[in-house]
Amino acid sequence: MMFALADVNSFYASCEAVLNPKLRGKPLIILSNNDGCCVARSAAAKKLGIKMGMPWFQIQQMSFPEKVYAFSSNYSLYHSFSQRVMSHLEELSPRVEQYSVDEMFIDIRSIDNCMDFETFGHQLRAHVLKGTGLTIGVGMGPGKVLAKAAQWASKEWPQFKGVLALTPGNPRRTEKLLSLMPVQEVWGCGSRISKKLNLMGIHTALQLARANPTFIRKNFSVVLERICRELNGESCISLEEAPPAKQQIICSRSFGERITTYEAMRQAVCQYAERAAEKLRGEHQYCRHISVFVKTSPFAVNEIYYSNVATEKLTTPTRDTRDIIAAAMKSLDRIWDDGRRYAKAGIMLNDFTPNGVSQLDLFDEVQPRPASDALMHVLDGINNSGLGKVWFAGRGIAPEWQMKRDMLSPSYTTKWSDLPVASIR
């Protein structure tokens, strides 16, 4: 086996600059939901000392030698570019797994019969850059964990020029790299696991690779044992081309400003319920469990933190937005507490079945609605057409709690009104 991991350099910031030449090479940061803190930086912004997670109000007060451009997260733009990168990788190598919005695993076994792995890596890089304007880094290894390690190293040491292959034929190189890699950088080793490993005297990836797998499984989990084996060049985690069917759908947001009235909260939960139901239909599933949660901010001073969740269980599985809204409202009524300043709410759908078949209950209040599927089909059809939206009145018309995205860039590739402009000269 041989895997490559391709990841896009400063993905969000790079997407913003492709169709806005004014931003090339400039310090550029992307803010989280509600324009809270910095979640992505261009190379120039990193150089200015702007750190990941820095609050936006703090950055605004700092003085910089040049203008720092800030943008709200434009997810539709990033999604569009993510799909484009994916298609470009698939053109050169058909088996690609999308691991996250900016990371893709690629099956590259037997490529070395035609060319060097690193030559192929540079080809991937050139191909993606040419078609999308985005630069990727490529790490390669006999397993996913080693591919990720190579990708980490390709960023850490510029002399690799963004492409590094750890091959079974060169064990010395792998060993050298793992000895320089802190264990918390290993894929799947979170901060909690790393701390425990450090206490056991395991500080580098090489030490983890040399540990006894049985010992690791006993003290941690089978997952870490697999990682341990992968570090030794044994491929244990396979490529997942088709994402596994979802077991749960969560739709939640932090509010642009605190919600204090019941009416506003009902509107918010109604909107999340609509979105969750739409996602559920996209997955071709029906659900039986509907939970709603609300919380106040844990950081607010002079306020007692409140967080609660309530669940409605239906006897008949559903994917009708009306049923899901009704259940969500029932749940909300049970946990709503007057006089608090809510910062976040969300809805969770659980207990999925692939079809709506179930034993009907003679005495159940909620009976399946006639022509439900047809109505939902029309609803989704209108909302996905890009021409307009229809929604349930429970959501209100102009909610003031909507996510704050004041510095949104145009959706250059997904909206006719937002196309980039070129002057005829």
Partner 1 sequence: MLHITPAAVDPVKVSLPLFIERCPAGFPSPCADYADAELDLNDYCIKKKSSTFFVRAIGNSMNDIGLHSGDLMVVDKAEEAHHGDIVIAEIDGEFTVKRLLLTPRPGLQAMNPNFPTIYPENLQIFGVVMAFVHKTRGGE
Which of left, alpha, beta for 382 (phi over 0: left; psi -120 to 50: alpha)?
A: alpha
How far is Cα 17 from Cα 276, in angstroms, rounded to an integer?
A: 32
24 near partner 1, judged by CB under 8 A: yes
Q: How far is the CB of 209 from partner 1 (least distance, A)?
A: 38
In the region spanning residues 220 to 279, those forming contacts with partner 1, defined by CB under 8 A, are none
How far from the centroid of its chain's Cα atoms is residue 412's Cα? 21
Contact status: 131 vs partner 1 (CB under 8 A): yes
Q: Where are the alpha helices (DSSP H) in 48-161?
A: 56-61, 75-92, 117-132, 144-156
Residue 83 as a binder of partner 1 (CB under 8 A): the answer is yes
Q: Is 331 in the site for partner 1 (CB under 8 A)?
A: no
Residue 206 binding partner 1, by CB under 8 A:
no
Q: What's the Cα-to-Cα distance from 151 to each of 5, 45, 238, 288, rounded to whole Å?
A: 7, 22, 18, 42
Rank residues 19 and 290 by Cβ distance to partner 1 and give the closer one: 19
Give CA separation, 227 vs 8, 28, 147, in Å: 24, 36, 12
**Identified binder of partner 1 from the candidate list 36, 133, 256, 356, rule CB under 8 A:** 133
Phi and psi at residue 357, in whole multiples of 5°?
Answer: -70, 130
Residue 207: both structure tokens together: 């030490």
Kindly indicate which of the ranges 49-57, 126-134, 145-153, 337-345 contains the residues binding partner 1, using the contact rule CB under 8 A.
Answer: 126-134
Angstrom distance (rounded) from CA 115 to CA 130: 21
User: Quick one: which of 73, 235, 318, 413 contacts partner 1 (CB under 8 A)?
Assistant: 413
Site for partner 1 (CB under 8 A): which residue of 58, 87, 238, 384?
87
Counting residues that bind partner 1 (by CB under 8 A) gives 24
Residue whose CB is less far from partner 1, 152 or 412: 412
Q: Which residues contact 94 (CB under 8 A, 6 or more apart)?
A: none
Contacts with partner 1, 362-401, as mask; x by CB under 8 A: ----------------------------------------
Asked if 94 is part of the footprint of partner 1 (rule: CB under 8 A), the reply reads no
Residue of 191, 114, 121, 113 lying closest to 150 (CA atoms): 121
3-class DSSP string for 369-416: CCCHHHHHHHHHHHHHCCCCCCCCHHHCCCCCCCCCCCCCCCCCCCCH
84 makes contact with partner 1 (CB under 8 A): yes
Site for partner 1 contains 130 (CB under 8 A)? yes
Which range touches partner 1 (CB under 8 A), out of 117-125, 130-138, 164-172, 233-241? 130-138
Q: Per CB under 8 A, which region of 124-132, 148-156, 363-371, 384-392 contacts partner 1?
A: 124-132
User: Which of residues 293 and 412 has its CB atom nearest to partner 1 in the complex?
Assistant: 412
Q: Using CB under 8 A, pick the residue from 34, 73, 132, 194 that binds partner 1.
A: 132
Length of the chain counted residue by residue: 425
In the bound state with partner 1, the residue whose beta carbon lies nearer, of 371 and 421, is: 421
> Binder to partner 1 among 88, 125, 295, 340 (CB under 8 A)?
88
Residue 301 engages partner 1 in binding (rule: CB under 8 A): no
Provide the 10 A C-beta neighbour count for residue 380.
15
Residue 144 DSSP SS3: helix
CB 414, min distance to partner 1, A: 10
Select 28 or 270, whichever has its Cβ closest to partner 1: 28
- Strands ordered across the beta sheet of 38-41: 38-41, 28-31, 69-72
345 touches 258 (CB < 8 A)? no
Interface ranges with partner 1 (CB under 8 A)? 19, 21-24, 83-84, 87-88, 91, 130-133, 412-413, 416, 419-425
